[in-house]
């Protein structure tokens, strides 16, 4: 199959990869086109994204697309569009995904404009859930924006196009359309260094919330580069500063998510979702099902397929025309297709909020169709086209009396209609004028009970809002929103501002992040600043150790609280572990707050095998707690004592100890019997370097002269000969039973074997 130089509708009816039949075009942009297709093997509808042919020719892009598709296909989460397949057919690089029947968040914003807080939470939470599932597996989306958030007709919200931007960026073929599509949502670190992690997706999710709340993105620029660079030097404003009705807690979520410093954001989408859901619970926001856009590209494609107009080309995502926004104002306002309000409109105007319907999404009208032959006009209502022909006009001649009677009847009908219309106009004028409205009563200075009673009597609903105040005692009414005297619709809601007294410094848990402490202080109208110098502590570096004034102290509204942060644990001294066995040395070092790296062995003549020799850093050095210390232990081999063993047995003992025996010759020293080991070099008990393990053994050539006096000549001869000596007998008799009275060598003397010992005997 080839995609080169083919119109996008030329793929209609084509079979990609022998499996996916292309039915109709859903949408297209600068990099790809999305088609409604059918998996003919499983007989199920699918969405097929076909990339621009230039990407299929790039091996690096194809490899990256395959890697990212495999990674995303392993993820299972209701907030993610499932990836079924990917591949290259000829020069068509394609991705097969779950078909979401509905539309994009961008299309919904174009149709309806800004969304109320409960709808924003309902749309954002599943998006964060899908991103969190990816973050847990080490994946980053890098291109979170309304175009990549799909809303199904059943109210499901899913994130699509994971990894596509990474694949395109790695290919080296990145086009201007990629920058235009993502510049408004790029995090500062992506602009500065192109690096991205889970916190980059958190930033984009914060921008997404900002746009849903206000109908616009926080920054504007003449070029994508100028737009992207603004976030390096400017903070994202709170949505509540641009449009009324945004709770402070929701502003706080957006501000933390869009912090310029990634370290101050939520660490990943899972943490952000937990905080957003907690805020929704605290605010009591109702459950809401986000409706799919009624005029989405997917709906148009499905309609065209049913009505035989499958060849009709949907509007491109980046070329959509100006659309009509429906708001609280009866008049309609033209806004650009990107969802940004015109510059002349005050962003604080409540008319820019659009009521979101909780039921089935409402279509604003039928789709216009071309004129048919014969003057008929086809109107597409979403089901079928109905032709309405223009009839020929004929007039029959009536007689004069009949025309008079018909004229009087018409006059009577007209008069009745005029009267009814006048009554309806009067009733409508009353309802649109004074009848529909009431005024907020004067309640300033009342206690809470009296104020609530007065507001309820005026037909309004009361919502208490505790507000810190320096002068008003706790429980006193200090104001209302709308203000007393303001005209509001009947059954409207009035926020009653009740004094909570002066704020107090909240209880701070040591070791809390600076951002968490600042958020707790802001909840009490207090400002937190970090002290210039940190203090050593057992808490992680950069976390809050204490605050001044202390917790519980009374403060003025907008008062300042100083936070002292930890500089990390205090330095520790490296203990002396010399001579200790390795395990004992490791325990002592870890008990001192140090980490032991890989233990290295080396030769030491001073320490036995396995004993600690030294540390690096050296003993007594002051190092940061938690630092890694290198431990060196001895690998010396101690020469065993083999005195008195014959050479063979001695050699075996040395080999068992890891040493090599070498014959060192004979020696007359020592006390070992002749022919046995009498000495060694190095000496017994010394420590030998395993790199030089040779030991020279010295064999005794002498024996100890035994004491034979007082024995018979026969006994003496036997003992001396067994000791290796020759025997000579002298005296008055040489009989074997004669008594030996003297010997030529004294008892215990070491004499070379073979020497003659003379004994003296008497009868």
Whether the bond into 264 is cis, omega within 30 of 0 = no
Q: Where are the beta strands (DSSP E) in 343-443?
A: 367-371, 377-380, 385-388, 437-439
Indicate the SS3 state at residue 42.
Answer: coil
- List the structure tokens of 553: 């102290």
Which residue's structure tokens are 């009814």?
Answer: 420
The Cα 673–Cα 700 span in angstroms is 7
Q: What is the CB-side half-sphere exposure of residue 430 using CA atoms within 13 A?
A: 6
Residue 722 · residue 681 · CB < 8 Å: no
Cβ–Cβ contacts within 10 Å for residue 121, how many? 23
Which secondary structure element, helix H or strand E, spans residue 519, and what is its range? helix 514-522
Q: Alpha helix (H) ranges present in 93-222? A: 105-112, 117-136, 164-171, 176-182, 188-193, 198-214
Distances from the Cα of 473 to the Cα of 497, 498, 615, angstroms = 12, 9, 65
Encode burial over 654-687: b for 16+ CB neighbours within 10 A, e otherwise: beeeebebeebeebeebebbbebbbbbebeeeeb
Contact 751, 725 (CB under 8 A): yes
> What residues contact residue 648 under an 8 Å CB cut-off, 6+ apart?
none
What are the tokens at 218? 């926080």
Pick from 46, 18, 48, 16: nearest CA to 32:
48
Place of tokens 């572990």: 577
| Coil, helix or strand at residue 503 | coil
Vertex 195: Cα angle to 194 and 199 (nearest 5): 125
- Give 419-475 as a DSSP string: HHHHHHHHHHHHIIIIITEEE----TT-BHHHHHHHHHHTT-EEEEEEE--SSSPTT
Listed residue (26, 51, 9) closest to 101, CA to CA: 26
Question: What is the rounded CA–CA span in Å between residue 381 and residue 339?
Answer: 25
Determine the 3-state secondary structure of 510 from DSSP.
coil
Contact call for residues 664 and 680 (beta carbons, < 8 A): yes
Which residues, at least 6 apart from 497, have a Cβ–Cβ distance to it below 8 Å? 465, 467, 477, 478, 479, 480, 481
143 assigned to active site: yes
Reading the block at residue 140, the tokens are 């980053």
CB-based contact 531:562 (threshold 8 Å): yes
> Of 175, 119, 144, which is closest to residue 358 (Cα–Cα)?
119
578: three-class secondary structure by DSSP: coil
Residue 568, beta-bridge partner list: 536
Q: Identify the active-site residue in 143, 161, 251, 268.
A: 143
User: What's the start-to-end Cα distance of the chain, in Å?
Assistant: 129
Burial bucket for residue 235 (CB in 10 Å: 0-12, 13-18, 19+): exposed
User: Which positions are annotated as active-site residues?
Assistant: 143
């Amino acid at each position: 199959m080839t995609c080169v130089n083919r119109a996008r509708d030329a793929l209609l009816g084509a079979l990609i990869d022998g499996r996916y039949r292309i039915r109709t075009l859903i949408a297209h942009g600068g990099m790809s086109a999305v088609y409604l297709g059918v998996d003919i093997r499983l007989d199920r509808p699918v969405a097929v994204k076909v990339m621009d042919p230039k990407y299929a020719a790039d091996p690096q892009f194809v490899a990256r697309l395959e890697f990212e598709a495999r990674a995303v296909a392993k993820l299972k989460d209701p907030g993610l569009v499932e990836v079924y397949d990917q591949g290259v057919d000829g020069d068509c690089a394609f991705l097969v995904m779950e078909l979401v029947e509905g539309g994009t968040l961008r299309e919904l914003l174009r149709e309806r404009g800004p969304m109320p807080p409960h709808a924003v939470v309902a749309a954002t939470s599943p998006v964060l859930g899908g991103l969190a599932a990816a973050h847990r597996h080490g994946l980053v989306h890098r291109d979170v924006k309304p175009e990549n958030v799909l809303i199904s007709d059943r109210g499901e919200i899913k994130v699509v196009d994971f990894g596509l931007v990474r694949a395109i960026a790695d290919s080296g073929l990145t086009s201007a359309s990629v920058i235009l599509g993502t510049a408004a949502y790029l995090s500062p670190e992506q602009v500065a260094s192109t690096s991205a992690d889970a916190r980059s997706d958190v930033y984009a999710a914060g921008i997404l919330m900002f746009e849903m709340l206000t109908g616009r993105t926080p920054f504007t620029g003449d070029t994508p580069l100028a737009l992207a660079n603004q976030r390096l030097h400017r903070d994202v404003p709170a949505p509540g500063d641009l449009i009324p009705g945004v709770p402070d807690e929701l502003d706080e979520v957006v501000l933390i998510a869009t912090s310029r410093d990634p370290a101050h954001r939520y660490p990943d989408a899972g943490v952000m979702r937990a905080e957003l859901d907690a805020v929704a619970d605290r605010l009591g926001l109702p459950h809401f099902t986000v409706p799919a856009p009624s005029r989405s590209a997917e709906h148009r494609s499905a309609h065209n397929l049913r009505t035989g107009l499958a060849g009709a080309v949907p509007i491109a995502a980046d070329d959509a025309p100006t659309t009509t926004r429906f708001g609280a104002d009866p008049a309609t306002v033209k806004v650009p297709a990107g969802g940004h309000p015109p510059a002349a409109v005050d962003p604080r105007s409540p008319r820019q909020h659009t009521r979101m319907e909780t039921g089935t999404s409402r279509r604003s009208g039928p789709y216009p169709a071309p004129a048919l032959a014969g003057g008929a006009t086809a109107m597409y209502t979403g089901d079928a086209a109905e032709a309405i022909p223009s009839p020929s006009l004929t007039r029959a001649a009536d007689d004069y009396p009949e025309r008079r009677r018909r004229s009087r009847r018409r006059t009577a009908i007209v008069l009745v209609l005029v009267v009814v219309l006048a009554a309806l106009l009067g009733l409508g004028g009353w309802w649109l004028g004074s009848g529909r409205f009431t005024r907020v009563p004067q309640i300033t200075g009342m206690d809470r009970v009296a104020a609530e009673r007065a507001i309820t009597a005026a037909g309004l609903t009361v919502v208490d809002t505790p507000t810190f105040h320096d002068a008003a005692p706790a429980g006193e009414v200090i104001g209302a929103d709308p203000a007393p005297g303001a005209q509001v619709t009947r059954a409207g809601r009035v926020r009653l501002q009740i004094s909570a007294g002066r704020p107090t410094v909240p209880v701070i848990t040591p070791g809390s992040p600076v951002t968490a402490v600042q958020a707790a202080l802001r909840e009490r109208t207090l400002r937190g600043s970090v002290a210039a110098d940190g203090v050593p502590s057992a808490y992680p570096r950069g976390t809050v150790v204490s605050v001044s004034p202390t917790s519980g102290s009374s403060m003025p509204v907008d008062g300042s609280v100083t936070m002292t942060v930890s500089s990390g644990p205090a330095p520790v001294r490296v203990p002396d572990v010399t001579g200790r066995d390795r395990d004992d040395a490791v325990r002592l070092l870890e008990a001192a707050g140090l980490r032991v790296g890989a233990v290295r062995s080396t030769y030491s003549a001073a320490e036995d095998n396995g004993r600690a020799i030294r540390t690096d850093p050296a003993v007594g050095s002051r190092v940061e707690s938690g630092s890694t210390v290198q431990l060196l232990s001895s690998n010396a081999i101690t020469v065993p004592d083999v005195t008195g063993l014959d050479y063979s047995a001695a050699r075996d003992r040395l080999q068992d100890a890891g040493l090599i025996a070498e014959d060192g010759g004979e020696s007359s020293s020592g006390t070992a019997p002749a022919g046995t080991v009498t000495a060694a070099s190095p000496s017994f008990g010394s420590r030998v370097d395993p790199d030089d393990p040779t030991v020279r053994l010295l064999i005794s050539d002498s024996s100890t002269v035994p004491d034979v006096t007082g024995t018979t000549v026969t006994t003496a001869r036997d003992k001396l000969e067994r000791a290796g000596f020759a025997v000579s007998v002298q005296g008055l008799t040489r009989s074997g039973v004669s008594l030996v009275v003297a010997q030529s060598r004294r008892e215990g003397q070491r004499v070379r074997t073979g020497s003659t010992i003379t004994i003296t005997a008497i009868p």
